[in-house]
Structure 1
Amino acid sequence: MFTEEDILAAEEALRQAMLSSDVVALDALLSDDLLFVNHTGQLFDKEADLAPHRSGALRLTRLDVTEQELRYLSAGAVVIVRASLSGEFQGARFEGDFRYTRVWQVVDDAPQVISAHCTALG
């Protein structure tokens, strides 16, 4: 069973990989069966989620986690974070506060995100 520290370390690894668009690290942290709903309600699979990092269309310059809650499941955990982000998407600058819900599962002795949802906070 993974400890709280293991899941929080995976969350930090995900944050760092998103900031640097490290597709190799993101590939390891995201399940092949990922389902991600973004802040506009669009549904993405793993490849669609990785594509803007891979192409350079998404460049994060800030991703600060300001709140974090963790709840264990029988084979993983649910983590809810509030984060302030800024960067560029397809050349347009953005910034905002978002709440993410991520479901982590254990696959081959490593935590991976199987499902995630993002909500933009006003």
Structure 2
Amino acid sequence: MEKPITREEVIEAENKLFSAQRISDVDRLDQLLYDDLIAVAPTGQVVTKEMDLDSHRTKTMVIEEASTTIDNIKITGGTALSIVTMTAKGKVAGTPLEGQFRYFRVWKRIEGTLKVIGASFMQLP
């Protein structure tokens, strides 16, 4: 039986994920994202792990400035849910993008490591 997920582990995983996103550390992102990740973008597009990694590899998404706040963490059995607000400035496909974004992530321990298995995000008004 897997050991229970703790709040501290989720905070640590969120911080690692943010750091990796911030500098497009594809190797670290590869470790933190589940191979069968399903994420939903603000447009409704379903995003896979490979699509996410490719956006960092090709620099389609570039984060120039950013900060995050973990708003909430709920742990249910072997699954953790997190809600995070990111204030960011950057570019997507060369187009400037700036604002606040809300992320909802589902974390699960896979082979001893917390990984994002599902996510969605949106830009806040």
TM-score (norm 2): 0.93
Counterpart of 1:115?
118
Structure 2 partner of 1:11: 14
CA contact 1:100–1:118 (8 Å) conserved in 2: yes
Please tell me the residue identity of whatever aligns with 2:96.
R
Partner of 2:77: 74
Amino acid paired to 1:106: R
Any stretches of 5+ residues in structure 1 without a counterpart? none
TM-superposed deviation, 1:96: 1.2
* Residues 16-62 of structure 1: per-residue CA shift (max 9 Å, x gap): 00000000000000000100101111111110111110111111012
Once the two structures are TM-superposed, the CA of residue 72 in structure 1 deviates from its matched residue by: 0.1
Whether 1:51 aligns to 2:54 is yes
One of 10, 16, 29 as aligned partner of 1:26 = 29
Q: What code does the residue aligned with 1:55 have?
A: T
What residue ranges of structure 2 are gaps of 5+ in the alignment?
Answer: none
- Conservation of the 8 A alpha-carbon contact between 2:70 and 2:82: no
How far apart, in 2, do the equivalents of 1:68 and 1:16 lie?
A: 17
Contact between 1:61 and 1:85, CA under 8 Å: does it hold in 2?
yes
Runs of 4+ in 1 over 4 A off after TM superposition: none
In structure 1, what is the equivalent of residue 94 of structure 2? Answer: 91
- Once residues 67 and 18 of structure 1 are traced to their aligned partners in structure 2, the CA distance between those partners, rounded to angstroms, is 15
Offset of residue 102 of structure 1: 0.1
% identical aligned pairs:
36
Partners of 2:106 and 2:28 lie apart in 1 by 17
C-alpha distance after superposition, 1:70-92 (max 9, x if no partner): 00021120000111111111222
